């Protein structure tokens, strides 16, 4: 039992990963081999980075012990900001920088207000969900601005690789996943994030600047969400003010399915990636297996509850172990 | 200069109306194990929290090894060689012993603005040595703190303080919720501090424990010091009578 608990803490994404493999096999069989064919995989891998980047941000933030419900709105606001600035003649790189700064500022506000007034981030970011969405619609002026024709899609959304298997966005996604994963496991800052979310009083007593750690995580989460939103807009070719709606909950679901604990301290970037992939695979696999697509949300909901129940059970076992020891 | 490692003069602390410390003056002598006792709400933790940088005094001065110091954060306190071990909150249960030993003071291979790559080899080697030093019989520093018993956790906290060469180790009710056997282990640690040349400050509600491992006893009541004697010059009854 101790070993199981330890495995869960060290590799909380393991259960999700096993489930992912099982589902891939199941869908491959049910769809008579269509699921893993090149076209279908291209489709899945093409949109995975957008939800995946958001999930990475939400997972890291959750490990630090906080939530962000505003990611879907930032997902829309960041590219809208860029589009409007470009309509006003800003070159792409400057507009990108401005968009990222706006995202970072929203993350900072989320974090600062949450910590300064000691309120649950659930509430702060719920408020921000509405405000950032509203801002998106307001700056768009009611209808989506036209994007210039000469966008650097080659850097973000063009297909690359053997058989044009991936979009560039996938490479960004992999790079961000690897870097953030290393940050969590190999740097002192990663240690501080885990300590802050794992047990705040101890982290603070050991001199970790817990407020700053959390604010940085809020900012990282917002910046990744904004960046992901830009990827989607470049892929679709138009900055719709409604993109990313409902994304916050899917991102939380991804993190939790990937083994992150709602209480903080436990989780991995890999888990967020696995969780997102599971959701995308279920979405796609249900369609291919000719199951009524409305079962999709049911499946995600079920998985989420199942993951949280499993997490809670592990925690209870962990407590029992402490008592025995 | 005296042989005091920490001396506090006329410390006052108010918590929105509550006068928790009313002019405390006290010398912590080098190499001595000092027992701090007093009823609930006497101000023991308040005094300790000021020394460990969790709270700031509203008035009064603190000298460490004869120098005036200002302790604004837990880090300041640790940098002055003061380590504090609390009842619950010195360890993160979801992290390994090795990670816990170095929280906030991780060795890095290189760093920019204080953020850098962990030197995991050094952490592994030093943590093996650190826990060996306090005789904890732990299998491996990779075990999670959540798997340890309360006494073992306090042991790891003490090992951490020793590893960072603390000069003063403050233990605020470290034996609460521990079994008799584990309590004895912690008391053993406190006794062992002197051999290592570390000044100990031990807070407990159990007089027997304090008399068991301390050289000097200081009793507080309602924010003031009401008794300050060497263990040999007083008795449990006398201490009880002033509280
Ligand atoms: N953070 C705080 N905010 C407000 N009041 C506080 C705070 N901490 C302590 N107090 C008050 O200050 C007084 C001294 O408390 P303190 O915790 O120092 O007592 P103590 O001697 O450590 O007691 P115990 O033995 O119960 O731990 C009490 O009246 C307490 O209510
Ligand atoms: Mg106390």
Residues contacting B233, CB < 8 A, separation 6+:
none
User: B43 in ligand 1 pocket by Cβ < 6 Å?
Assistant: yes
Quote the ipTM score: 0.85
Higher pLDDT, B2 or A81: A81
pTM: 0.90
Query: Given pLDDT bands bounded at 50, 70 and 90, which one contains residue A315?
Result: low
Q: Does B84 touch chain A (CB under 8 A)?
A: yes
Average pLDDT of A233-254? 94
Most confident of A5-14, A225-234, B23-32, B126-135: A225-234
Four-CA torsion A261, A267, A272, A275, nearest 10 degrees = -60
Q: Which protein residue's CA is at the shortest distance from atom 15 of ligand 1?
A: B41
Chain B residue closest in CA terms to A185: B118
Report how many domains make up chain B.
Answer: 1
Atom of ligand 1 nearest to the CA of B46: 18
User: B14 in ligand 1 pocket by Cβ < 6 Å?
Assistant: no
Token pair of B71 as six digits: 């302790």
Average pLDDT of A240-267? 93
* Residue B53 belongs to domain spanning: 4-242
Closest in B74, B88, B147 to A321, CB measured: B147
User: B31 in ligand 1 pocket by Cβ < 6 Å?
Assistant: no
Q: Which protein residue's CA is at the shortest distance from atom 17 of ligand 1?
A: B45
Q: Do B73 and A194 touch (CB under 8 A)?
A: no
Other Cβ atoms less than 10 A from the Cβ of B93: the count is 19
Q: Which protein residue's CA is at the shortest distance from atom 8 of ligand 1?
A: B46
Task: Give the mean pLDDT of chain B.
Answer: 89
Token pair of A157 as six digits: 């959304």
Ligand nearest to the CA of B47: 1
Closest in A6, A189, A199 to B144, CB measured: A6
Q: Could you tell me the distance, in angstroms and rounded to a whole number, from the CA of residue A291 to the centre of ligand 1?
A: 62
Average pLDDT of A74-95? 96
Tens-digit pLDDT profile for residues B44-62: 999 999 999 999 999 999 9
Q: Do A206 and B108 touch (CB under 8 A)?
A: no
User: B15 in ligand 1 pocket by Cβ < 6 Å?
Assistant: yes
Instruction: Please classify residue B129 by burial: count the beta carbons closer than 10 Å to its beta carbon, then call 0-12 exposed, 13-18 middle and 19+ buried.
Output: exposed
Q: Which protein residue's CA is at the shortest distance from atom 24 of ligand 1?
A: B40
Average pLDDT of A173-184? 98
**B229 Cα distance to chain centroid:** 21
Q: Count residue pairs from A and B with Cβ separation < 8 A.
A: 105
Residue boundaries of the structural domains of chain A: 4-324
Q: Could you tell me the distance, in angstroms and rounded to a whole number, from the CA of residue A94 to the centre of ligand 2?
A: 55
Residues from chain B that touch A9, judged by Cβ atoms under 8 A, are: 94, 144, 146
Tens-digit pLDDT profile for residues A260-288: 988 899 999 999 999 999 999 999 999 88
Q: Do B94 and A199 touch (CB under 8 A)?
A: yes
Ligand nearest to the CA of B44: 1
Q: Which protein residue's CA is at the shortest distance from atom 4 of ligand 1?
A: B15
Q: Could you tell me the distance, in angstroms and rounded to a whole number, from the CA of residue A174 to the centre of ligand 2?
A: 49
Tens-digit pLDDT profile for residues A189-239: 999 999 999 999 999 999 999 999 999 999 999 999 999 999 999 999 999
The Cα–Cα gap between A116 and A94 comes to: 32
Tens-digit pLDDT profile for residues B143-169: 888 888 888 888 888 889 888 888 999
Q: Could you tell me the distance, in angstroms and rounded to a whole number, from the CA of residue A199 to the centre of ligand 1?
A: 22
Question: Of the given ranges (A57-66, A102-111, B206-215), which has the lowest mean pLDDT?
Answer: B206-215
Q: Do B103 and A2 touch (CB under 8 A)?
A: no
Token pair of A213 as six digits: 């750690």
User: Which CATH fold would you assign to the domain A4-324?
Assistant: ABC transporter involved in vitamin B12 uptake, BtuC (1.10.3470)
Q: Do B115 and A189 touch (CB under 8 A)?
A: yes
Most confident of A3-7, A178-182, A290-294, B238-242: A178-182
Interface of A with B in 244-303 (CB under 8 A): 265-266
User: B56 in ligand 1 pocket by Cβ < 6 Å?
Assistant: no
Closest in A195, A205, A318 to B84, CB measured: A205
Q: CA of B76 to nearest chain A CA: how many angstroms apart?
A: 8
- Of B36, B39, B41, best ligand 1 pocket probe by most atoms within 8 Å of the beta carbon: B41
The three state secondary structure string of chain A is: CHHHHHHHHHCCCHHHHHHHHHHHHHHHHHCCCCCCCHHHHHHHHHHHHHHHHHHHHHHHHHHCCCCCCCHHHHHHHHHHHHHHHHHCCCCHHHHHHHHHHHHHHHHHHHHHHHHHCCCCHHHHHHHHHHHHHHHHHHHHCCCCCCCCCCCCHHHHCCEECHHHCEEHHHHHHHHHHHHHHHHHHHEHHHHHHHHHHHCHHHHHHCCCCHHHHHHHHHHHHHHHHHHHHHHHHHHHCCCCCCCCCCHHHHHHHHHHHCCCCCCCCCCCHHHHHHHHHHHHHHHHHHHHCCCCCCHHHHHHHHHHHHHHHHHHHHHHHHHHHHHHC
């Amino acid at each position: 039992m101790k070993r199981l608990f330890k495995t869960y803490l060290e590799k909380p994404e393991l259960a999700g990963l096993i489930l992912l493999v099982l589902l891939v096999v199941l869908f491959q069989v049910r769809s008579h081999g269509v699921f893993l064919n090149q076209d279908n995989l291209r489709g899945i891998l093409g949109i995975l980075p957008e939800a995946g980047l958001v999930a990475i941000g939400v997972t890291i933030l959750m490990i630090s012990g906080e939530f962000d419900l505003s990611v879907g709105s930032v997902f829309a606001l960041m590219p809208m900001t860029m589009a409007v600035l470009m309509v006003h003649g800003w070159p792409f790189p400057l507009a990108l920088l401005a968009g990222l700064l706006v995202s970072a500022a929203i993350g900072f506000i989320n974090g600062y207000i949450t910590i300064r007034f000691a309120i649950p981030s659930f509430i702060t970011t719920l408020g921000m969900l509405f405000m950032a969405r509203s801002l998106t619609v307001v700056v768009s002026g009611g209808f989506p601005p036209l994007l210039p024709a000469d966008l650097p899609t080659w850097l973000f959304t063009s297909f690359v690789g053997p058989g044009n298997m991936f979009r560039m966005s996938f490479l960004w996604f992999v790079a961000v996943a690897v870097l953030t994963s290393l940050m969590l496991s190999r740097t002192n800052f990663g240690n501080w994030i885990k300590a802050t979310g794992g047990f705040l009083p101890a982290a603070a007593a050991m001199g970790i600047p817990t407020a700053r750690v959390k604010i940085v995580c809020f900012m990282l989460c917002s910046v990744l969400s904004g960046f992901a939103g830009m990827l989607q807009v470049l892929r679709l070719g138009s900055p719709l003010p409604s993109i990313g709606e409902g994304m916050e909950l899917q991102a939380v679901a991804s993190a939790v399915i990937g083994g992150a604990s709602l209480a903080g301290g436990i989780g991995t970037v890999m888990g967020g990636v696995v969780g997102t992939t599971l959701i995308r695979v279920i979405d796609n696999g249900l369609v291919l297996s000719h199951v009524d697509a409305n079962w999709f949300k049911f499946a995600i909901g079920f998985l989420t509850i199942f993951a949280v129940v499993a997490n809670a059970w592990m925690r209870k076992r962990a407590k029992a172990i402490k008592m025995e020891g | 200069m005296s042989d005091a490692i920490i001396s506090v003069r006329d410390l006052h602390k108010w918590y929105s109306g509550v006068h928790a410390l009313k002019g405390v003056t006290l010398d912590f002598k080098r190499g001595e194990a000092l027992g701090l006792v007093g009823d609930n709400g006497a101000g023991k933790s308040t005094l300790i929290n000021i020394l460990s940088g969790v709270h700031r005094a509203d008035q009064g001065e603190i000298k460490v090894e004869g120098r005036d110091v200002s302790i604004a954060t837990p880090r300041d306190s640790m940098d002055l060689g003061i380590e504090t071990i609390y009842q619950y909150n010195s360890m993160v249960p979801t992290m390994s012993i090795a990670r816990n030993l170095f929280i906030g003071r991780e060795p890095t291979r290189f760093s920019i603005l204080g953020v850098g790559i962990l030197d995991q080899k050094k952490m592994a080697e030093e943590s093996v040595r650190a826990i060996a030093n306090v005789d904890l019989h732990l299998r491996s520093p990779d075990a999670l703190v959540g798997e340890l018993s309360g006494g073992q956790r306090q042991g790891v906290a003490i090992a951490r303080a020793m590893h960072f060469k603390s000069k003063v180790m403050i233990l605020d009710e470290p034996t609460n919720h521990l079994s008799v056997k584990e309590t004895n282990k912690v008391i053993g640690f406190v006794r062992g501090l002197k051999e290592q040349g570390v000044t100990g400050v031990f807070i407990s509600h159990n007089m027997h424990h304090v008399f068991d491992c301390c050289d000097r006893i200081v009793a507080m009541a309602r924010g003031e010091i009401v008794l300050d004697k060497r263990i040999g010059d007083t008795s449990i009854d006398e201490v009880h009578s002033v509280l």
